[in-house]
Amino acid sequence: MTRHHPIRHTWACGDCGMDWPCQTRRGELLMEHRRARVSLALYLAAQLVEATQDLIHVPAGRLHYRFLGWMR
């Protein structure tokens, strides 16, 4: 079980304090969804939608890369 969950409203990692999903969580997510990349993309897209409500000061392109762009 991971400790790298997002802290709502700041979207920082609850374990390491980096922007969520942090490098550790990204690796965990890839392993957990290694045969279900579409499911991972849908999960992260839902997280992105929630984060945009809290992180209105962060440019949309930056949030997109942070939540989805790294999966390529």
Residue 54 located in a structural domain: yes
Q: How many domains does the chain have?
A: 1
Residue 19 located in a structural domain: yes
Q: Is the peptide bond before 21 cis (omega within 30 degrees of 0)?
A: yes
For residue 20, give the 3-state DSSP assignment: coil
Query: Cβ(20)–Cβ(10) under 8 Å?
Result: no
**pTM of the entire predicted model:** 0.91
20: left (phi over 0), alpha (psi -120 to 50) or beta: beta
Residue 26 located in a structural domain: yes
Beta bridge partners of 19: 12
Q: Which range marks the domain in which residue 31 is found?
A: 6-71
Walk along the chain (72 residues) and give the pLDDT tens digit of each residue. Answer: 789 999 999 999 999 999 999 999 999 999 999 999 999 999 999 999 999 999 999 999 999 999 999 987
Distance of CA 39 to the CA centre of its chain: 13
Residue 1 located in a structural domain: no
Residue-level pLDDT at 72:
76
Residue 43 located in a structural domain: yes
Residue 32 located in a structural domain: yes
